[in-house]
Chains A and B, each alone.
Chain A
Amino acid sequence: MTLLNSIPPGLILILGAIVLLLLPATARKAGAIALAALGFYAISQLEDGEQLFPTLLGFKLTLLRVDATSKAFGYIFTLCAFAAFIFSWHEKSRAENTAALVYVGSALGVVFAGDMITWYVCWELMAIASTFLILARKTEKSLKAAQRYILVHLAGGLILLTGILLAIQATGSIAFTSKVLTQNEMAKYFILLGILINAAAVPFSSWLPDAYPESTIMGGIFLSAYTTKTAVYTLIRGFPGEELLIPIGCVMTLYGIIYALLENDMRRILAYSIINQVGFMVCGVGIGTNLAIAGVVAHAFCHIIYKALLWMSAGAVLYRTGKSKCTELGGLYKTMPITMVLGTIGALSISSVPLTSGFVSKTLIVAAAEQQHYLWVWLVLEIASAGVFLHAGIKFPYFVFFNVDRGLRPKEAPKPMLIGMGLLAFLCIYLGCHPTPLYDILPFDPGESKTFSAIYVDHFANVVTMFQLLAFSALAFFVFLPLLKRTPTISIDFDWFYRKGAKWFFWMADKSLNSLNAAADKYVIKTFLPALTRFALVAPAALTAMVLKPVWRAMDPDEARLTKRRDELVAKFTTGTFPIAYSAACVLIILSLLVLIGRTAD
Chain B
Amino acid sequence: MSETPEKPFVPDEPTVSRKFWIALWLTCGVSVLLELLVPRHVHFESSDSAFASATNGFGFYVALGFLACSSAILLAKGLGLLLKAKENYYDDTP
User: Using a CB–CB distance below 8 Å, which chain A residues touch chain B?
Assistant: 144, 147-148, 257-258, 261-262, 320-322, 327, 330, 370, 373, 375, 378-379, 382-383, 386-387, 389-390, 403-411, 459-462, 464-493, 499-500, 503
- Residue of B1, B52, B63 with most partner-chain A CB within 10 A: B1
Within 8 Å CB of A500, what residues of B? 90, 93
Chain B residues near A404 (CB, 8 Å)? 10-14
A-B contact pairs, 13 of them (CB 8 A): A261-B72, A320-B1, A390-B69, A405-B10, A409-B3, A409-B4, A461-B39, A461-B40, A465-B60, A471-B28, A482-B14, A485-B14, A499-B90
Q: State how many angstroms separate the Cβ of B1 from the closest Cβ of chain A.
A: 5
* Nearest-CB residue, chain A, relative to B27: A471
Query: B38 near A321 (CB under 8 angstroms)?
Result: no
CB of A509 to closest CB in B, whole Å? 16
List 11 extra interface pairs beyond A322-B1, A477-B69, A499-B90, CB under 8 A: A258-B79, A373-B48, A378-B44, A386-B65, A467-B31, A471-B31, A475-B28, A482-B13, A486-B12, A489-B85, A491-B85
In the complex, what residues of B have CB within 8 A of residue A383's CB?
64, 68
Q: How far is the CB of B66 from chain A (nearest CB, A)?
A: 4
Judge whether A461 and B38 touch: CB under 8 Å: yes
Contact B2 A407 (CB under 8 A): yes
- CB of A468 within 8 A of CB of B32, answer yes
CB contacts (< 8 Å) of B19 on chain A: these are none
Bound complex: CA A322 to CA B62 (Å): 40
Which B residues between 1 and 46 are near A, CB-CB below 8 angstroms? 1-5, 7, 10-14, 16, 20-21, 24-25, 27-28, 31-32, 34-35, 38-41, 43-44
- Do residues B66 and A473 form an inter-chain contact, with CB atoms below 8 A? yes
Bound Cα distance A464, B65 (Å): 13
Least CB distance from B71 to A in Å reads 9
The answer on a CB contact under 8 Å between A375 and B49 is yes
* Contact status B24-A475, CB under 8 Å: yes
A460, B38: Cβ atoms under 8 Å?
Answer: yes
A386 in contact with B83 (CB, 8 Å): no
CB distance from A490 to the nearest CB of B (A): 6
In contact, A410 and B1 (Cβ under 8 angstroms): yes
Name the prevailing secondary structure of the A interface residues.
Answer: helix
Residue ranges of B at the interface with A (Cβ–Cβ < 8 Å):
1-5, 7, 10-14, 16, 20-21, 24-25, 27-28, 31-32, 34-35, 38-41, 43-44, 48-49, 51-52, 55, 59-66, 68-70, 72-77, 79-80, 82-87, 89-90, 93-94
Q: Give every chain B residue within 8 A of A467 (Cβ-Cβ).
A: 31, 34
- Whether A321 and B1, one on each chain, are in contact in the complex, defined by CB atoms closer than 8 angstroms, is yes
Residues in A with CB closer than 8 Å to B76 are 258, 261-262
B87 lies within 8 A of A489 (CB)? yes
Top 5 nearest A-B pairs by Cβ distance? Answer: A407-B7, A472-B65, A476-B69, A261-B76, A468-B61
Whole-angstrom distance from the CB of B25 to the nearest CB of chain A? 8
Residues of A within 8 A of B4 (CB): 407-409
| Cα distance, A482 to B31, chains bound together (Å) | 25
With the chains together, A478 CA to B70 CA distance in Å? 10
Cβ A476 vs Cβ B12 within 8 A: no
Q: What distance in Å separates the Cβ of A494 from its nearest Cβ neighbour in chain B?
A: 11
Closest CB in chain A relative to B73 CB, distance in Å: 5
Q: Looking at A405, A462, A475, which has the most chain B CB atoms within 10 Å of its CB?
A: A475
Q: Are A469 and B61 in contact (CB under 8 A)?
A: yes
Which interface residue of B72, B77, B80, B93 has the most chain A CB atoms within 10 A? B72
Choose one: B20, B31, B43, B87; the contact of A468 (CB below 8 Å): B31
Pick the contact of A491 from B24, B34, B80, B94 — CB < 8 Å? Answer: B80
Which residues of the partner chain A approach B55 to less than 8 Å between Cβ atoms? 375, 379
Q: How far is the CB of B9 from chain A (nearest CB, A)?
A: 8
A485 to B13, CA, bound (A): 7
**Contact A490 B85, beta carbon cutoff 8 Å:** yes
- CB neighbours (8 Å) of A262 from chain B are 76, 79-80, 83-84
A488 to B72, CA, bound (A): 20
User: A476, B70: Cβ atoms under 8 Å?
Assistant: yes
Establish whether residues A387 and B69, one from each chain, have CB atoms under 8 Å apart when the complex forms.
Answer: yes
Query: A291: shortest Cβ distance to chain B, in Å?
Result: 15
A463 vs chain B, min Cβ distance (A): 9
Docked pose: A500 CA to B26 CA in angstroms? 49
- Please state if B2 and A408 are interface contacts (CB–CB under 8 Å): yes
- Known contacts being A322-B1, A490-B84, is A375 close to B44, with CB within 8 Å? yes
Give chain B residues whose Cβ lies under 8 Å from the Cβ of A460: 38
- Contact indicator B28/A472 (Cβ below 8 Å): yes
Give the contacting residue for A473; candidates B20, B40, B65, B77; CB below 8 A: B65
Q: Contact check, B35 vs A406: say whether CB atoms are below 8 A apart.
A: no
- B85 to chain A: which residues have CB within 8 Å? 489-492
Q: Which A residue sits closest to B70, measured CB to CB? A: A476
Task: Verify B93–A499 contact, CB threshold 8 A.
Answer: yes
Cβ-closest chain B residue relative to A140: B91
Report the separation of the CA atoms of residues A257 and B69 in the bound assembly, to the nearest whole angstrom: 10
Cβ–Cβ contact B89 & A476, under 8 A: no
A387 CA to B84 CA in the complex, in Å?
20
Residues of chain A with a CB closer than 8 A to B72's CB: 257-258, 261, 387, 390
Across the interface, A472 reaches (CB within 8 A) one of B5, B21, B61, namely B61
Q: Are B73 and A390 in contact (CB under 8 A)?
A: yes
**Can you name the residue of chain B whose Cβ is closest to the Cβ of A476?**
B69
